[in-house]
Structures are given as structure tokens and as C-alpha cells.
Amino acid sequence: MYTDRYTASTRDGDTPGSRGAWAYTELKRRLLAGDYRLGRRLGEAALGKDLGVSRTPIRDALARLHAEGLVVRLPEGGYSPSVPDLHTVAELYEIRRHLEFGALRRGPHDRDRLRVLAGEWAEIAAPDRDEDTTPDFVLQDESFHLALADAAGNDALVDQLRGVNERIRSVRMHDFLTADRVARTILEHRSIVASLLVGDGERAERELAGHLEISERVVADRAAAAVGRMLAGGDA
């Protein structure tokens, strides 16, 4: 469950683990904001000096960010910021919509599964400040949509949706950089499940349509702004 909060601007303690977590979170925040210019080599020594940590947590953070698609490996070694392919992302969003609406309309949904899902999201607390958010909320968001599709009883559809989510995850992180977006997502998830539990599939479909439309627009706008900053030289 998404209950732990990590504040990127504050180091929680001074252990190697906490320094590594802070370095990873801060680098991710900067990459998503477009703070590093396009083509810049992200050297371990320079980043470590900038963030005030040793090279080891930087090296570990870059390896994780590479696995997440936020940096690319350079032929000569090291990493550089990756540029999201917004055209491909838009196409994958279209596939995602078809899959999610297909699951929603398939029915009847497993009511026990829906009750569990409703209970899980009733316990999730929205962050109070932007500093309390983390783009890793995207994983919890994915779990909701996969569970919703799973309640429709088509395992193959769930697998396809999981694959699409993995391909757009690095860009969808842009949706969860502010407290208001996380809070709104939580409320919309709760409402979609509530509509299904009372048997109002039409309302659930309208709510899902609005939910996906807003998310896609926010992601496209923020990702495009980040790319613009990278092209302009970023801040670092």
C-alpha cells in the first residue's frame, strides 16, 4: 500500500541506506523536471559533489533509474537523461484505454474483489504537500487499474494491460509530482469502485473516462515541459 512518505528535500537520518534513497529520489525528481540538459553525461563524481554524497549511492541510483527508463547508457560509458517518446506514449495510452474500457464493460465484476479494492483505497492517505509526494505512486496507481481489470475475470487482458503500463511508466510518473494530483487520483479511484459496487456501470465508465483523460493530459503537458527544459539546457 502507498502509505509511506518520503520527502525528497530532507535526508531522513545519515546512514548509507538513507543517503542512497535520498540520492535516488532527488535524481529522479530532477530528471522528471528536465533539470539536466539533453545529452549531458551524468557523471558519478559530479553528481555526488552536487548532492553531497559519495559515488556509491549515485552509482546505485543511476542503475535504478536506468532500469526505470529515466536515463540511457552512453556508448562510452555512463548515463545521460532519456527523452520520452511522446508520440509512442500517446499510442500506448490509446491501447490502454481500449483495454480498461473492455474490462469495465465485460462484467459482471467479482464483488468480493471490488470490496477488497475499495477497502485498500479507503485506507490510503493523500499527501498534504508536494514535498510529501513521490513519482513512485505510479506503481500503486497501476495496481489499482490491474485489480479493477482482474475483477472482470480476463487474465489475458490483465497481462496485456500490465505490459502497456510498464512501457509508459517512466512518463506516467509525471502525473504524480504534486499533492493535488495524488489526492484527486485517490478520490477518483474510490468513486469508480463505489459505482461498480452499487451496480452503476454507466457512471463508472464516465468516471473512468474522465480519470484517464485528465491523467493523460497532465502527463503530456508535464513531459513536454520537461523535454523543453532539457532542450533549453535545464538547470544543471
For the chain, domains (ranges, CATH) are 16-82 (1.10.10.10), 86-229 (1.20.120.530)
Quote the CA–CA distance of 19 and 147 in Å, as a whole number.
Answer: 34
Cβ-proximal residues to 206 (8 Å cutoff; 6+ apart), any chain: none
Q: Which helix (H) or strand (E) holds 124?
A: none
Q: pTM for the whole thing? A: 0.84
Provide the pLDDT for residue 20. Answer: 81
* Percent of the chain residues past pLDDT 70, beyond the cut: 92
Provide the pLDDT for residue 76. Answer: 84
- Looking at every residue in the chain, the average pLDDT score rounds to 90
List the end-to-end C-alpha distance of the chain, in Å, as a whole number: 34
Instruction: Determine the residue type at 142.
Output: E
